[in-house]
Every structure is written in structure tokens, then in C-alpha cells.
Structure 1
Amino acid sequence: MDSEMIDIAVLLRRVQLRKQAACDQALARWEMTLPQWGMLRAVATRPDSSTHALALVTGQSDQAAGAVVARLEQRGLLERHNGRGKTILHRATTTGTALLNDCNQAITRTMRASLSGLDDNEIHTLRDLLGRFA
């Protein structure tokens, strides 16, 4: 059982690295990285979230999330505004939403290609299993 757990750990890491490389390559056309896409997606799907809330959703530290948010703001893809107290809230701009749509299509194509060896039921099962642990 211990060796099986080690195998799972190694296989998950290998899959994660391949997925990240393939997605980064697909996003390079728009000068986006996987963490930037993830943050833009989080902002678009959770408007008016704080940097801390976005960090939790994207699995980044507050510091890393702040750096990604700042880069996206510099590119005009999101805007920040004051919330309650010292909280800063975020919203995708029209440009950011349009870019996100393009990037989502690229990620979809990339993931379809990566998972082409699985049928629809297996893909659904994989998503369900991953969702239990995410």
C-alpha cells in the first residue's frame, strides 16, 4: 500500500508538470501564464473578491496572488477598487473578459488533446475524483 501511495504521488506530479507545460505553451500566444490565467478566471467568476480570497481560490500565497493581480492590472485586464476598510476588490475589465474567453478556448483544446486517450465517461470520472480532493 505504501508503494502505491508513492506511485500516485509521483504520477500526479508528472501529470501536473505536463499539464502546466502544455497550458503555458497554449497561453503564450497571449503572453499569459497558467497562474495568470487562473487568477483572471477567478476574478471573472468571483467579481469583487479580495486578493486574499483570490489567493485561496487559486492556491497561491497572498504575496504571489498580489504580484499576479498587479501584473494583470498593468495589462488592463482587471481593475481594483476599494472595499470595506483596507480591502481592495477586483473585477475583470472588458478586455480581460475577452482575453479570458480566448484563453479558455485554448485551455479547452489543450486539455482535450491531453486527455484524448480517455472517453467521455472516464473524463467525467476523473473530474469527479479530482474534485473530491481539490
Structure 2
Amino acid sequence: MREPSEVGLAVKRLQHRHHRALSKALSPLGLSVVQWDTLRHLDRNPDASLHDLAVLTFQTDQSFGSLAVRMAERGLIERVPGPGRAVRHRLTDEGARLRAEGQAAADAIVAASFDALTPEQLDDLGALLDAALGADPTA
């Protein structure tokens, strides 16, 4: 029987493999994984706040604020005033283009990673991960 720590390590190794492969695939686009992840979340959450994007990308507000400024300077996102002191973020046309190209690379990487699984096994794995995430009150 596998120990939970072994399973956790396998999940982390798979995530690390995806991260390395995606870093390599995004490099020709001039994007880091964190930048692409920001574009991906903005595509799904237009007008998201800095704090919301920091949470979605696993960063602090301060580190995400620096990243957002650099991405705006590159023309990948726009920072627009929101209610009160809030700043909202939107994809530019260039950001949307690079997000789509990065998404194609990410989809190929993840699909290849799970190629050895049958569709049923993939469904089972997804359900098991959902159950494990649901069991964690800090998630």
C-alpha cells in the first residue's frame, strides 16, 4: 500500500515535469510560466483585481504587482482604474495571442503526460484528485 507522502511526491513530480516542459515551450514566446498563467487567468476572469490574480497565480500581492507592471510595459495586459483605489486588469490583443499560443503548448504537454492512461483512468484520477482537494480545509 502506498503512503500518502509517496502519492503526494508523485503529484509534485508530475507538476514539476509539466512546469519544466512548459517553461521550455513558452521560452520562444518570451513568456515565463507565471506570465502565461496570468494571461490564462485574465482570459477566464476579465477585469480581475490585483489581489484576485495574485491568489490565482499563487503569489503575494506585492510580487504580483511588480509582475503586472512589467507585463503592462510589454503590452500584454492593461491596468485600468476600478472602483475606489482598485486596479483592474485586462488582456491586450498581444496578450490574448500569446495566451492562445501558450495554451496550445500547455494542452499538448499535459495530454502527452497522461497518454498512458485510458479515458476511464483519467476520469478516475480526476475524481480522486477532486476528492483529495475537497478534503483539505486549507484549499
TM, length-normalised to structure 1? 0.88
Give the total of aligned pairs: 133
Structure 1 stretches of 4+ with a deviation exceeding 4 A read none
| SS of structure 2 residue aligned to 1:59 | coil
Please list, as runs of the form range in 1=range in 2, the aligned pairs for 1:29-48 lying within 5 A after superposition: 29-48=28-47
| SS of structure 2 residue aligned to 1:80 | strand
Please list, as runs of the form range in 1=range in 2, the aligned pairs for 1:29-108 lying within 5 A after superposition: 29-108=28-107
Superposed CA RMSD in Å reads 1.8
| SS of structure 1 residue aligned to 2:116 | coil
1:20 corresponds to: 19
2:136 corresponds to: none
CA 1:54–1:131: 2 relative to 1, 3 Å? farther
Q: For residues 68 and 130 of structure 1, what CA distance do their matches in structure 2 show?
A: 30
Q: CA deviation at 1:124?
A: 3.0
Work out the percentage of aligned pairs sharing the same amino acid: 33
Which segments of 5 or more consecutive residues in structure 1 lack a partner in the other structure? none
Q: CA deviation at 1:130?
A: 3.3
Please say if 1:9 is aligned against 2:8: yes
The 8 Å contact of residues 48 and 91 in structure 1, kept in 2 or not, is answered as: yes
Which segments of 5 or more consecutive residues in structure 2 lack a partner in the other structure? 134-138
TM, length-normalised to structure 2? 0.85
